[in-house]
Chain A
């Protein structure tokens, strides 16, 4: 019974991680039809920002939840102005340019931090469920993912900015005709998306050792989750994260972590073959 609880916590946790790592990418993809392949590196930079901030004496929660998103958001703004802006409407070209950006950022991080693994300790102690010890930080991540989704929903459905954003998402030309400058909207969106990537990187930093190439381990999963989810930001990410998190954890427990990873990938292939527009291309159409 205790073991079952532990397994459920692990499954929830892995769904939460998928939500966190996909949210930034999903916002940018859903709103702008831009796939940011440097997303993993944005997370990596969020992680380093957190570690540097903590090491220079800033409170760990402030570093994770404020410093990391801000740093990466500003970086995203710069990237949007310098690179992405020139490539709107050219999906493949943006993918390639951001891929180049990802290599570039890995190189820069390597030159600054070296390839040695760095990290900080999680701020929450473990506790026990029956006979089992559980990593307390896992709960923090689950809560963070829930709060994030709720906040996204609130912003998109409850605020004027959210309304404009959704409008632009559906018909950019109409939004523009109504007097909203799509340029500004895209800029703000990219800032928010990048900030979310930074947030994810910051939150995950205490759990995993950080090296400059860390981003590579996230980007594939995030990419797959977002594309499989389809164009609706919240429902899409939540549904595909749930599916993949469940599949990979069940196989990890039953067999081994490799099989868990492979199962996730196979599930993605089958899913896309059956639903070529992603989950929300077929179900929950037109939701957020």
Chain B
């Protein structure tokens, strides 16, 4: 990691850590926990879409797969350490497999969207059809539409009776979010990440330079899948139940909306988008004047048409032009400005 990047990452991490630490004085920790989980989920798509240029309509598939893997494994094992890692590993492997199939088949944009969408639908339909007693994995009934309740939630490794609940669980998820953020920053700053961004900008040129774009895209996609799975695992432990709704199209849609609203090409943007919109949803559930879907739809339209870059980058450039106006001299060329803004 270059020195500037390091400084930048450390700065954001510390700031975020402080924000996450003082947040419990404003909001209940169970609400904060789910907001952090949403943030993590948004981060996974923010990485592969914003930096890899891969628009995945089915990020919910990995999220749900992580949650289900955790639930099934926890029911069978009864102690949460192995299920926790399985909940990350399974979606990661699955994403790697799916990614390899798509990228080595040279599928692009719309077709990629269709495939990821279809895979999510298959999961959704299959999980909904598993109510019968014949769908059993070990001791875990898949439960169909009603989902799987009553599994072991996260515990201190090695001690199944020491549950990580409430405040402790919140600090744990917050720590995981920061850790993943640092990891992703490192990944993007590494030579691998630089090339990945290059593929997003111009795949052909990168290939002509001798890099294997297919492999890199597959790896990036798998990492994104793993992070989404991690979010699913944490969700399962928070909700204490997993249902096929995790695989639904509206869940996938929500993740995309978070990224758009927060700002693509940044990492902080999607996380903030997820937290703000997630919180908005809880607040809207306490009123019944306007239909919630209507508002969500309107937000998406307005952002795509009027503010396609999202909150964080737009605020960034608004601030910069403000700054420039005050100084009355700006030495940054527009081109440089654009690159820096993609670094938030």
Contact = CB atoms under 8 A, between A and B. Distances in A.
Any A–B CB pair closer than 8 Å: yes
Interface of A: 35, 83, 86-87, 91-93, 95-97, 99-108, 110-111, 216, 220, 223-224, 227-228, 258, 261-262, 265-266, 268-269, 272-273, 276-278
A96 B105 contact: no
Contact of B109 (A86, A91, A216): A91
Interface stretch (B111-119, B209-217, B234-242, B266-274): B111-119
Contacts of A91: 109-110
20 contacts: A35-B110, A83-B301, A91-B110, A96-B260, A97-B304, A99-B253, A100-B296, A103-B253, A104-B293, A104-B294, A104-B297, A104-B298, A104-B301, A106-B297, A107-B290, A107-B296, A223-B117, A224-B117, A268-B118, A277-B111
Given A100-B300, A265-B118, A227 B126 contact: no
Contact of B111 (A99, A108, A258, A276): A276
Main secondary structure on B side of the interface with A: helix
Contact of B119 (A83, A216, A258, A269): A269
Contacts of B335: none
Contacts of B125: 258, 261-262, 265
Contacts of A265: 118, 121-122, 125
A96 B117 contact: no
A272 B253 CA distance: 22
B10 interface: no
B294 A108 contact: yes
B101 A224 contact: no
A268 B114 contact: yes
Interface in B165-217: none
Contact of B114 (A86, A87, A101, A223): A223
A276 B106 contact: yes
Contact of A273 (B107, B249, B297): B107
Given A92-B55, A100-B302, A273-B107, 20 more contacts: A35-B110, A83-B305, A87-B304, A91-B110, A100-B298, A100-B303, A103-B253, A103-B294, A103-B300, A104-B297, A107-B291, A107-B293, A107-B295, A107-B296, A108-B294, A258-B126, A258-B128, A265-B121, A272-B111, A273-B115
A203 B52 CA distance: 43
Contacts of A108: 291, 294
Contacts of B302: 100
Interface in B276-297: 290-297
A101 B292 CA distance: 13
A273 B294 contact: no
A167 B260 CA distance: 35
Of all A-B residue pairs in the complex, the 3 with the closest CB atoms, nearest first, are A107-B294, A100-B300, A103-B297
A266 B256 CA distance: 24
Given A107-B291, A107-B292, A273-B105, A262 B260 contact: no
Q: Which one of A35, A87, A103, A266 has the greatest number of beta carbons of chain B within 10 Å?
A: A103
Nearest to B295: A107
A193 B110 CA distance: 19
Given A102-B297, A105-B297, A268-B114, A93 B126 contact: no
Nearest to A111: B291
A96 B304 contact: yes
Contact of B304 (A93, A224, A278): A93
A228 B118 CA distance: 12
Contacts of B291: 107-108, 110-111
A102 B304 CA distance: 14
Contacts of B119: 269
Interface in B88-143: 101-102, 105-111, 113-115, 117-119, 121-122, 125-126, 128-129
A269 B115 contact: yes
Contacts of A97: 300-301, 304-305
A275 B288 CA distance: 48
B115 A95 contact: no
A99 B113 CA distance: 13
B296 A220 contact: no
Nearest to B300: A100
Nearest to A100: B300
Nearest to A115: B291
Interface in B51-70: 55
